[in-house]
Amino acid sequence: MSSLLSHIELSERISKNLQRLEDILPEDTRTDLVVPRGIIRRVEDLLPEYDFIMNNTIQRNICYAVEALDFYRWIINCFKTYGPVSGYLYKTGIILADMIVESMTRDFLKQRGVKQSKKHSKNIAKLKTLGVPKSLRERIEKLHSRRSNIHLYLISDLEATKYKLKDWNSSILCLRDIRKKFCELLT
């Protein structure tokens, strides 16, 4: 936990310093932007946080997805985006966070000897008897419902401002908390 917090604090400091540097650079000196090292955590650094996942392929794929979340976080923190662009960045992060939670949930159920359903919502319900508190299950359900109806052809209203930073933050915190709870229950 403390290493995660220190990494977040470091990332925030780097983001602020990069923005200050960007603000003082003359227009004609700007070139291709390179993501600074340390902003996106490496799979090797993430693997210990997900060592409770028994399937190595799923474990690594989760870490790749977390790397993508790190990249989206960097974009959100370093660039001023507006309207639909911001909304779709948040939406992409919410979808990715839910995909990670779904994978962790299926692995958790498998390790506990519980048959998994094809539907994530049914798997969430199965967590009730396995030590996952109601408040956390409700947050997972809320994350999953935010992720539902992602197909553009199924959406009947405009999405330009549907997803907000608070939705992004809630999804990241839910991901963190369920990871910690599964780790606690499995180790």
**pLDDT at 182 > cutoff 80:** yes
Per cent of the chain over pLDDT 70 is: 89
- Tokens for 176, please give them: 């963190």
- Tokens for 91, please give them: 């939406």
CATH numbers and ranges of domains, the chain = 39-186 (1.20.120.330)
Q: State whether residue 149 is helix, strand or coil.
A: coil
Q: How confident is the model at residue 1 (pLDDT cuts 50, 70, 90)?
A: very low
CA–CA separation, 42 vs 168, rounded Å? 21
- Please list, residue by residue across 89-102, b when 16 or more beta carbons sit within 10 angstroms of its beta carbon and e when fewer do: bbbbbbbbbbbbbb
**pLDDT at 17 > cutoff 90:** no
Tell me the pLDDT of the chain averaged across its residues.
87
pLDDT in tens, 132-151: 999 999 999 999 988 876 76
In this prediction the pTM is: 0.79
- Cβ(171)–Cβ(93) below 8 Å: yes
- The candidate with the shortest Cα–Cα distance to 19, out of 49, 46, 39, is 39
pLDDT given for residue 160 in this prediction = 65
pLDDT in tens, 78-134: 888 888 888 889 999 999 999 999 999 999 999 999 999 999 999 999 999 999 999
